[in-house]
Amino acid sequence: MKLKSSLPLLVFLLILASPASAFDPAAGKELADENCYSCHGNDVYTRKDRMVKTRSGLTSQVRRCELSLGLKWFDEDVDDVAGYLNQQFYKFDQ
């Protein structure tokens, strides 16, 4: 049957297309400790009037900070930092 032979390919493609929700919290913490907290400590994450309102907004903000500092992180690094900050402070749904 054709369906059985294409099933592994379909599963593989679905895995690639699904949003990556896995992140490395240890790597995110290390990058945040080295780069994020030196500019603004924890205050920006815990204040009541914080500007980041969504999980995707958090990732975008991490990317903006990364670019403004000229860090040249990989996408995985941005995801690790955003995931770590979300886990520690924001608590947005993935």
* Residue 69: CATH number of its domain: 1.10.760
Q: pTM for this structure?
A: 0.76
Q: Residue 67's domain spans which residues?
A: 24-90
Distances (CA, A) of 68 to 13, 38, 72, 73, 85: 34, 14, 10, 12, 18
Per-residue confidence of the chain (94 residues) as pLDDT tens digits? 455 666 676 555 555 544 555 899 999 999 999 999 988 888 889 898 999 999 999 999 999 999 999 999 999 999 999 999 999 999 999 7
Q: Specify if 82 maps to a domain.
A: yes
Is 6 inside any structural domain?
Answer: no
pLDDT value, residue 11: 58
Q: Which residues contact 28 (CB under 8 A, 6 or more apart)?
A: 80, 81, 82, 83, 84, 85
Q: How many domains does the chain have?
A: 1
- Count Cα neighbours of 25 within 13 Å in the Cβ-side half-sphere: 6
Q: What is the pLDDT of residue 3?
A: 54
Q: What is the pLDDT of residue 8?
A: 72
pLDDT of residue 43: 87
Return the pLDDT at 76.
97
